[in-house]
Amino acid sequence: MTDTLPVAEYLRMSTEHQQYSLDNQQARIAAYAERLGFTVVKTYSDEAKSGVGLKRRNGLRQLLQDVMNRDAGYRAILVYDVSRWGRFQDADEAAHYEFVCKQAGVPVHYCAEPFVNDGGIQNTLMKALKRTMAGEYSRELGVKVLAGLKRLATLGYKQGGVPGYGLRRMLVSADGRPKQILAPGERKSIATERVVLVPGPDDEVRVVRRIYQMLLNEGMSVYAIAGELNREGVPYGKSRWTHHSVQQILSHPKYSGCNVFGRTTQKLGTPSVQVPEKEWVRTPGAFVPVVDEEWGQEARRLLSSRTGNKSDDELLEALRQLLAKTGRLSLQLIQKSAETPSPSTYRKRFGSLRRSYELIGYGLPDQFAPIDLRRRTQALRDELMALIAEMFPDEVKIVRHSGRWRSRLKLKNGPMVSVLIVRCVHVWKQTVRWQIDPVRRECRLVTLLARLDEANHSLLDFHILPGMDRKRRFRISRSDEWLDRGWPLKDVSAFCELVSRVNTSKTDGSVCNRSRAKHAI
């Protein structure tokens, strides 16, 4: 009996509604394998995964990894057709992944295509044309789907997404008759059914109206409103109120009954981008309002006047006025001030609060006596923690406990993180070191170590460490080997991912080193 050639098969379907797609692909691949004397020894699949990118296609990623590791255990890959391999918007990307397999000695066969993938000129041209057509299909389909969504939005129907605090999703029939309130995670099952927003529980509606009153009648800032709600123990799902959650309620027209669609766009796997307000699809009076339209307009006007319409000079003048009023500046003072834009506004406009302080002549190094260095370092620590919590409102929170220990960061379903700001000391002429004072209660925690620059003026770099292995003061150099215990954090946006990675390494006992750390995000 002749030995058969071991092969793998790759299957993909785009949506959960294509319930027979994988079976059909597998049947065609099986017939192809039998005809050519192949034996399928491994199956990779991506169910309900778009073909426009590689990021979420775990099946294809695992296939490529096995092939590149040279331990795949098969000699070819069978795919139903070119579109199942992918609808990449750049046809060269599809060609690249196929070339990776071919170079490793594992060619790709397309079982339902009219051409043979043998490298011939005619077949190569046909394959390139098919790849381009597969990508174009996704582009054309995206245009049609977006047009349909916009039309339904103009009719007052909600197009996906969570309803928001104080609101619920109501399922309605094709003729507009209410059917039921959809629970979180539930979706409509009949194509002709639609979804509208309705006011939620009475207690949530009262909180929403009170938030508007606190802004309009009491002149409170967004940060102050969030702080007051947290102090009173007002629940916000399973988390705490943040300035983001309050801002969303005060700025979104849906609370005054207006359906808005298309505030952001994310086409074919590209990053989400903001859409100019004049291009939004608006349908006033689509829903039963939670607050009056006058309240909604006034709240949005007030928030816009504090931030969006201000020039750089006006933003800095607001800081000068706050400084004249209080005698000093801090993150907490800016958050509580109803007349001063939010700290995030200054970070977006000038890069950081510290840079904003510099522009008005406050907080320069020569203005601080040595005794104030600790206070300034604490302010930088508070600012860094607030920035991380703002970037990940659903994943990270600041945990405070009066008297027992300092504030820390806590990942949702993850570890507690100690935040340590390390100042620079000049030990001899041009020689500098960074002085670390470990906090005994936090030595075992995953640690975010942030070093200051040589002037102790701003943050220089960041490292995620599995913990502190010392309990007494010590010093490190710029590229100290001690830092090899952890991972450099090159971008704060990767904070959660890197903390989870270090925590996993810490838990399973593996050791972080520089050769792995250089690949950190």
Residue bearing tokens 């599995």: 466
Would you state the torsion angle of the CA atoms of residues 433, 439, 445, 448, taken in this order, to the nearest 10 degrees?
-40
The whole-angstrom separation of Cα 9 and Cα 42 is 6
The whole-angstrom separation of Cα 159 and Cα 168 is 13
User: What is residue 309's predicted lDDT score, i.e. its pLDDT?
Assistant: 66
User: Using an 8 Å Cβ cutoff, are 480 and 468 in contact?
Assistant: no
User: What is residue 363's predicted lDDT score, i.e. its pLDDT?
Assistant: 62
Could you give the 3-state DSSP secondary structure of residue 425?
strand
User: What is residue 20's predicted lDDT score, i.e. its pLDDT?
Assistant: 60
User: What CATH architecture does domain 373-517 belong to?
Assistant: 3-Layer(aba) Sandwich (3.40)
The whole-angstrom separation of Cα 172 and Cα 275 is 29
Domain boundaries, given as residue ranges, for the chain: 5-140, 167-218+244-306, 312-363, 373-517
The length of the chain, given as a count of residues: 521
> In 10 A of CB 233, how many CB atoms?
6
User: What is residue 269's predicted lDDT score, i.e. its pLDDT?
Assistant: 66
> In 10 A of CB 406, how many CB atoms?
15
CATH topology of domain 167-218+244-306: Hect, E3 ligase catalytic domain fold (3.90.1750)
The whole-angstrom separation of Cα 208 and Cα 9 is 53
How distant, in Å, are the alpha carbons of 92, 103, 136, 138, 449 from that of 53?
A: 12, 22, 14, 11, 35
User: What is residue 519's predicted lDDT score, i.e. its pLDDT?
Assistant: 42
3-state SS, one letter per residue, for 211-266: HHHHHHCCCCCHHHHHHHHHHCCCCECCECCCHHHHHHHHHCHHHHCCEEECCEEC
User: What is residue 117's predicted lDDT score, i.e. its pLDDT?
Assistant: 87
The whole-angstrom separation of Cα 66 and Cα 62 is 6
User: Angle of helix 343-350 relative to helix 373-391, nearest 10 degrees?
Assistant: 90
> In 10 A of CB 511, how many CB atoms?
10
User: What is residue 402's predicted lDDT score, i.e. its pLDDT?
Assistant: 57
Residue 195 is which amino acid? V
- Give me 16's structure tokens: 């959960």
Helix and strand counts by DSSP (H, E) for the chain: 16, 19
The residues pairing with 474 across neighbouring beta strands, listed in sequence order, are 436
Residue 259 is which amino acid? N
CATH topology of domain 5-140: Rossmann fold (3.40.50)
User: Using an 8 Å Cβ cutoff, are 331 and 346 in contact?
Assistant: no
How distant, in Å, are the alpha carbons of 430, 462, 498 from that of 465?
A: 28, 10, 10
The whole-angstrom separation of Cα 372 and Cα 421 is 15
For 313, the enclosing helix (H) or strand (E) is: helix 312-326
User: What is residue 370's predicted lDDT score, i.e. its pLDDT?
Assistant: 47
Residue bearing tokens 């949506």: 15
Tell me the pLDDT of the chain (521 aa) as tens digits: 457 899 999 999 887 556 568 889 999 999 999 999 999 999 999 987 777 888 888 999 999 999 998 878 899 999 999 999 988 888 899 999 999 999 999 999 999 998 888 888 988 899 999 999 988 888 888 888 888 888 988 888 998 888 999 999 999 998 888 999 998 888 888 888 899 999 999 999 999 999 999 999 998 888 889 889 999 999 998 888 988 899 899 989 999 999 998 888 877 767 778 788 888 889 999 889 999 999 999 998 888 777 666 788 888 888 888 888 887 787 778 877 877 888 878 887 887 787 888 888 776 544 444 445 677 788 788 888 888 988 888 889 888 765 567 889 999 888 999 999 999 988 777 788 999 999 988 999 999 999 998 888 888 899 999 998 888 899 999 889 999 888 898 878 889 989 988 888 776 655 444 444 444 44
For 38, the enclosing helix (H) or strand (E) is: strand 38-46
Residue bearing tokens 């039963």: 288
- Give me 21's structure tokens: 């797609």
Residue (of 442, 437, 332, 324) closest to 385 by Cα position: 332
The whole-angstrom separation of Cα 114 and Cα 130 is 11
